[in-house]
Amino acid sequence: MNTTTQVSDSALVSLYIAGNENAFEQLVNRHKNKVYTTILLIVKDTYTAEDLMQDAFIKAIHTMKSGRYNEEGKFSSWICRIAHNLAIDFFRKEKRSPMITLEDGSNVFNTMAFAEDSAEQLQVKEDTHARLRELIQTLPQSQREVLMMRHYADMSFQEIADATGVSINTALGRMRYALINLRKKMLNSNIAYDKNLYSE
């Protein structure tokens, strides 16, 4: 039995600050997908997203190693906020808008592995997930922002409300519309939408 999965992020951070590199490896492996996806949904380029993901974790390393890490709040929210800010800064420096025209993501995104599925099922899933990531980009910015902060950056609705300067009811409303809009867009795109297909 692997008991290390029970260790909290907070404990792993403390262990890492004390010099335990294995604790950091667990933190990275636990959060790399959310950090990477948060960035990828903004920059839409795998190489740039990987570079910025590395920058985000390096920034986190320096903050933790220098004793400036704030124990308040969740590590996941913190690291995803760093990632989100780096991705936005990237666009400011490049003087580009994150709301660029979408393309078919099939050549851009990596193949996801589901060993238990047939090749055909794998393709259906990957197509669906790639299309979903595209559809997230088409949401109004305020809705997309809340969706990414809550679903991928793991921030609470109150934290999102504080960060974006709106009431919690507004944040909740934006999230509700984001999810409803995504569902409508999925249905309108004739994308397979079977809960049994996607359950793990």
Partner 1 sequence: MIKTSTQNELIQYVYDELAKNASEQLETAFMHDEELAESCSELLQIQNLLDNALKSPHKRAVQNILNYSKSLSLQS
Q: For the CB of residue 90, give the shortest distance to partner 1 in the complex, in Å.
A: 16
Taking CB under 8 A as the rule, does residue 129 contact partner 1? Answer: yes
Contacts with partner 1, 165-184, as mask; x by CB under 8 A: ----x--xx-xx--x--xx-
The reply to whether 157 sits near partner 1 by the rule CB under 8 A is yes
Q: Do 174 and 163 form a contact (C-beta atoms < 8 A)? A: no
- Angle value at C-alpha 138, between 59 and 112, nearest 5 degrees: 60
Minimum CB distance to partner 1, residue 118 (Å): 17
Nearer of residues 74 and 129 to partner 1, judged by Cβ: 129
Q: Residue 178: in which H helix or E strand, if any?
A: helix 168-188
Name residues whose C-beta falls within 8 Å of residue 111's C-beta, 6 or more positions apart in sequence: 122, 126
Nearer Cβ to partner 1 (7/117): 117
**Cβ atoms of residues 33 and 109 within 8 Å:** no
Among 12, 13, 24, 87, the residue binding partner 1 under the rule CB under 8 A is 24
Q: How remote is the C-alpha of 89 from its chain's centroid?
A: 17
Tokens representing residue 10 in the block: 């907070």
Q: Tell whether residue 151 is a contact of partner 1 (CB under 8 A).
A: yes
Contacting range for partner 1; rule: CB under 8 A; set: 73-81, 87-95, 116-124, 191-199: 191-199
- Amino acid at site 1: M
Question: Is the Cα torsion angle 129, 4, 76, 149 positive or negative in sign?
Answer: positive
* Per-residue contact string for residues 72-101; x = within reach of partner 1 by CB under 8 A: ------------------------------
Helices (H), 66-118: 75-94
CB of 156 to partner 1, least distance (A): 6
Residues 6+ apart with CB under 8 A from 130: 104, 105, 106, 109
Binding site for partner 1 (CB under 8 A): 19, 21, 24-25, 28-29, 32-34, 36-37, 40, 49-50, 53-54, 57-58, 61, 65, 109-110, 112, 125, 128-129, 132-133, 147, 150-152, 156-157, 169, 172-173, 175-176, 179, 182-183, 186, 193, 195, 198-200
